[in-house]
Chains A and B, each alone.
Chain A
Amino acid sequence: MTTTDPLTPTLAPALAREEAADPFSLGGETFTSRLLLGTGGAPSLEVLERAVRASGTQLVTVALRRVEASSSGAMMEVLDRCGVRLLPNTAGCSTAREAVRTAQLAREAFDTSWVKLEVIGDEHTLLPDPIELLDAAEQLVADGFTVLPYTGDDPVVGRRLTDVGCAAVMPLGAPIGSGLGIRNPHAIALLREMVDVPVILDAGIGTASDAALAMELGCDGVLLASAVTLAREPERMALAMRQAVEAGRLARGAGRIPRRFSAAASTPMQGLPEL
């Protein structure tokens, strides 16, 4: 929970304490926000800064490109000013070799051994290549990296990634940038049951209800970019995502009611007047 959470003061003290102490442990670090934000796509640095602040995120993804094609140093000033931790990605890599080198370059540039590992297997769908991904993850873990792999929603691949030492598993809900939401919720729920590391829903989120669903399915966090940066009002959507992640987390903890085929009245029939 964040310090500005409006809900906790209305809770009974014991529950409020429990909610306030709901830390997100990832890679040996502790976060209060469970929303990770990608920086790609924002129409301006001013919009990006407002969105980052509204989201409450503490971890944002960044990339490395040839210096002529990179952002000005101003983007890093914005992120430094927001006080967020940086998570470099390996976007654009299609082999383990490229991804490992990109991660090593990012470690030099950003002075962090954390990496969002992306190894793309298909240019059209941008779906991850599980074979190359597993190979790269194993090499990077051996090299001391904290590896957060972007993967498909196959629970067995997720478990293999944790077997080689990944600090989290980040399954897609739908293809990157598609905004299609979580196409196979059951696979995400199965993955959550099959691994002992944090599961962060990454890619496919289109709107706030998708982020809430991810948390209701048991995900420990949500990573999204376009859903905020390309929204008509990124700052407003960033706040929506923050609240959706918090709401989904609360609902997961509260325990949803069973689904029923038909109705079940909540108003008692006893004492019904005859009119």
Chain B
Amino acid sequence: MQLTVNGVPTDVPDPTTVAALVAERTEGHRRVAVAVNGGVVPRSSWEATALAAGDAVEVLAPTAGG
């Protein structure tokens, strides 16, 4: 199925959970946050949250900032 991940159309297996997508995308990052269709998905819900075709997912990590 196709999702939009960080603004880029992306094919992923169906089903894919938020936890699986995060594991694939964020190697080396302990501090990560995820939004699906604009809503925050708490870390405690990543395993239980299945993504659906067309979802817009943002996978965010720390960066320097003022």
List B contacts of A62 (CB < 8 A): 62-65
Within 8 A of B (CB), among A59-110: 61-73, 75-76, 89, 91, 101, 104-106, 108-110
Assess A73 versus B66: contact at CB under 8 Å? Given A65-B60, A67-B59, A68-B6: no
Assess A108 versus B63: contact at CB under 8 Å? Given A67-B6, A73-B29: no
List B contacts of A89 (CB < 8 A): 65-66
Task: Pick the residue among B7, B32, B64 that contacts A75 (CB under 8 A).
Answer: B64
Q: How far is the CA of A213 from the CA of B33 in the complex (A)?
A: 38
List A contacts of B40 (CB < 8 A): 101, 104-105, 108
List B contacts of A141 (CB < 8 A): none
Chain A CB within 10 Å, residue with most, of B28, B30, B58, B65:
B65
Assess A76 versus B31: contact at CB under 8 Å? Given A39-B66, A67-B26, A101-B40: yes
Asked if A70 contacts B29 (CB within 8 A), the reply is yes
A174 at the interface (CB under 8 A from B): no
Given contacts A63-B63, A67-B29, A110-B62, 5 further A-B contacts (CB under 8 A): A64-B63, A67-B60, A69-B63, A101-B35, A101-B38
Within 8 A of A (CB), among B1-44: 6-7, 25-26, 28-35, 38, 40, 42-43
Assess A91 versus B62: contact at CB under 8 Å? Given A105-B40, A108-B33: no
Asked if B33 contacts A91 (CB within 8 A), the reply is no
Q: A22 → chain B, closest Cβ, in Å? A: 26
Binding site for A on B (CB under 8 A): 6-7, 25-26, 28-35, 38, 40, 42-43, 58-66
Q: Chain A interface mostly helix, strand, loop or mixed?
A: mixed
Chain B CB within 10 Å, residue with most, of A91, A105, A176:
A105
| Contact indicator per residue, chain A 21-45, by CB within 8 Å of chain B (1) or not (0) | 0000000000000000011111000
Tally of contact residues, A, Cβ under 8 A: 35
In chain A, what residue has the closest Cβ to B28? A73
Cβ-closest 3 pairs across A and B = A63-B65, A38-B66, A225-B66
Asked if B65 contacts A66 (CB within 8 A), the reply is no
Please name 26 pairs of A and B residues whose Cβ atoms are closer than 8 Å in the assembled complex, sorted by A: A39-B66, A41-B66, A61-B65, A63-B65, A64-B60, A66-B6, A66-B58, A66-B61, A67-B6, A67-B26, A67-B29, A67-B32, A67-B60, A69-B63, A70-B60, A70-B62, A71-B64, A76-B62, A105-B33, A105-B58, A106-B33, A108-B33, A108-B40, A109-B32, A110-B62, A176-B66
List B contacts of A73 (CB < 8 A): 28-30, 61-62
